[in-house]
Amino acid sequence: MAQPVLTADPTIRVSDLSLSYPAHAGGREFQAVEGMSFKVARGGVVALLGESGSGKSTLTRFLAGRGSDAGEKAARIKPTGGEASVFDVSLRRLRGRTKARLTAYVGHLAQDAGATLAPELNVGDILFEPIVERSKRFDREALGERIAEMMDIVALPLSKLQEYPYELSKGQRQRVAVMRSLMLDPALLIADEPTLGVDANNRPKIVELLRWYRERTDAAMVLISHDIGMLEALVEEVLVMQQGRLVGKGDINEIFRNADHGYVHQLAQALRATAYDEIADE
């Protein structure tokens, strides 16, 4: 049975990958990603950019090993061509123990993570839960110190550990969700809009948390983000998607300055003009 090779370089290898959603409720099979090829080096940070519906979230769910999670039958992702591997483990036939071993080393922040925190748990329990589910034996004091350091970085007072999600603002819930995605020390973090819903003053704090984590662990990261500050601070390479295909690839500065694809040029202009359209709160 394949074992994750955490020292594998590249961490992610994608070759001519196509992904679809099977026919459901009378509808047709939908091709979401087509012919994608790229690599993410060990410790590298890559951003996926593109308009809504371009295939970014489908691709990241698949790479995170969440493409066929229970409870998401209607939205299961089917690989229809090419290959993809994470830590040298093929994702085309990922199941059972192999999936459990791999996903233990892959942190995944879904786009709605801040809105789906367990309502019956307080923030402290939400952060401790991933650790407790893996092992009953851990250094609670050391873990508490790490949580305190993360809370300080994202400007959340320790008193928030006793509060429940309904007592937090949208931006505070998102910051908790980002911290939770890091609790198991993933060697690869895949995050879909990590600053979503966070006000402009606090977005840099999430960027600082991810920078702190990367320096501490040398983890690789794949980020979906339209936060230009985050892109400029963290990202080494940008992949631009349109209608499921890769239409731009390169260094973040070069791809925006020398965009030779009309769609890439439009996207660059939009990112410079505004970071988000939605109203964010603290």
Sequential pLDDT tens for the chain (282 residues): 567 878 778 999 999 999 999 877 666 888 999 999 999 999 999 999 888 889 999 999 999 998 776 444 446 899 999 999 999 999 988 888 888 888 889 999 998 899 999 999 999 999 999 888 777 777 888 889 999 999 999 999 999 999 999 999 999 999 999 999 999 999 999 999 999 999 999 999 999 999 999 999 999 999 999 888 888 899 989 998 999 999 888 887 776 665 555 666 676 666 655 544 443 444
Helix, strand, coil shares of the chain as percentages rounded to 5? Answer: 40, 25, 40
* 148 token code pair: 């305190």
Given a contact cutoff of 8 angstroms between Cβ atoms, the answer to whether 7 and 42 are in contact is yes
* 76 token code pair: 């299961």
In angstroms, the Cα distances linking 29 to 22, 23, 32, 65, 121 are: 5, 4, 9, 21, 38
Q: What residues contact 144, with CB distance under 8 A and at least 6 apart?
A: none
**What fold, for 12-273?**
Rossmann fold (3.40.50)
For 86, how many CA atoms within 13 A lie in the half-sphere containing its CB?
Answer: 30
Positive or negative torsion for Cα 230, 231, 236, 242: positive
In angstroms, the Cα distances linking 256 to 106, 245, 263 are: 29, 18, 11
Positive or negative torsion for Cα 252, 6, 107, 140: negative
| CA–CA distance, 280 with 198 (Å, rounded to integer) | 5
pTM score over 0.75: yes
| CA–CA distance, 130 with 147 (Å, rounded to integer) | 13
**Phi-psi label, residue 256: left if phi above 0, alpha if psi -120 to 50, beta otherwise:** alpha
